[in-house]
Amino acid sequence: MPTLSRWFVRSALVCLIAALLLAVLMQWPAASAAAPWLRVVWPTYLHLLVVGWLTQLIFGVAYWLFPRYSAASPRGSERLGWASLLLLNLGLALRIVGEPWAAMGGETMPLLLGSATAQLLGGWAFVANTWPRVRQR
Amino acid sequence: MPRLSVLMIRTALLHLAAGFAVGALLLAARELPLDPSVLRLRGAHAHLLLLGWTAQLAMGVAFWILPRFRAGPERGREWPAWLAYLLLNGGVLLSAAAGDGPGAGPLLGRCAEGLAALAFAGHAWPRIKPFG
């Protein structure tokens, strides 16, 4: 398994664990009483599961197993692949901080706009790198 | 990779690109003075990513790698899988365009998505077997 795929799959596992821990905290009465922001992090939980876990796991496995691009660069552009990993996780991290911060009345414009931009560019980087590898033999 | 898998996976990638763009717009709308009608795109965001991207990618990869047959066409009856491709994309686009409210558009979209699942199962069911 290539190094980038290992990073994608391990990051996906971290997101799965984080999402399920967050779910426990959201459901725990004592925790949500002590930290009222837990009542508004449902979208964060959902995105950790669907983007952080599911989509990122797909990215990692697709980068590993999809047909080779060429003998010289079998997995397309490594730079685009790494950009995808870093931007997607940066976007998720900004969201994880930004959403509770917004609930506590903090200034969140740079966090949430940064999150939106980073996730968008991360997703598009994956599409750009994967597209030429999806072809008929 | 067979032609239908190429089509399904590339269409799934287009749905991923579009779904992420809608998601970025929804997140940005919390901070920027955008038209409130942007918030109606939540359903489109979910349909594009959960069905257009995830489910369609799974179908495309399954059509490619599920066990093949030794006798007859190697992937069995292909037409139900082609039908699933058309119904799924029609359903996702209709659901995304029509929104989540009441009406014929969202209902037709959901029906097309459900029939796509049935059609794909009709293709894949006999291929869920040991290799060879």
Highest-pLDDT range among A26-35, A69-78, A123-132? A123-132
Measured in degrees and rounded to the nearest 5, phi and psi for residue B79 equal -60, -35
Q: Please give the pLDDT value at position B110.
A: 94
Query: Which residues of chain A have a CB within 8 Å of the CB of B57?
Result: 58
Contact B3, B44 (CB under 8 A): no
Q: Is pLDDT above 90 for A86?
A: yes
d(CA A77, CA B83) in angstroms, rounded, equals: 34
pLDDT of residue B132: 73
Residue from A44, A50, A94, A121 whose CB has the most chain B CBs within 10 Å, to mutate: A50
CB A11 within 8 A of CB A66: no
Of A82, A59, A35, nearest in space to A133 by CA? A59
The secondary structure of residue A131, as a DSSP letter, is G
**pLDDT tens figures, B39-82:** 899 999 999 999 999 999 999 999 999 999 999 999 999 999 99
Q: What pLDDT sits at residue A20? A: 96
| Sign of CA pseudo-dihedral B11, B17, B23, B26 | negative
Is the pLDDT at B119 greater than 90, yes or no? yes
For an interface test with B, give the residue of A69, A80, A112 to mutate (most B CBs within 10 A): A112
Residue B99: what pLDDT? 79
How many Å is the maximal CA-CA distance in chain A? 58
Burial code (b: 16+ CB inside 10 Å, e: under 16) for B34-68 equals eeeeeeebebbbbbbbbbbbbbbbebbbbbbebee
pLDDT digits (tens, 9 = 90+) for A26-73: 999 898 889 888 888 999 999 999 999 999 999 999 999 999 999 999
Decide if A11 contacts A52 (C-beta within 8 A). yes
The answer to whether B43 contacts chain A (CB < 8 Å) is no
Please give the model's pTM, rounded to 2 decimal places: 0.94
- Whether ipTM tops 0.85, in short, is yes
CA distance B132 to B113: 32
According to the model, what pLDDT value does residue B93 have? Answer: 96
Q: What pLDDT is stored for residue B68 in this prediction?
A: 95
How far is A102 from B25, CA to CA, in rounded Å?
17
How far off is chain A from B115, nearest CA to CA, in Å? 24
Contacts of B97 (CB under 8 A, 6+ apart): B44, B105
Tell how many helices (H) and how many strands (E) occur in chain B: 5, 0
Nearest-angstrom CA–CA distance, B121 and A13 = 29
* Residue B96 contacts A, CB cutoff 8 Å: no
Closest of A79, A80, A53, A75 to residue A62, by C-alpha: A75
Torsional sign, CA B38, B31, A32, A94:
positive
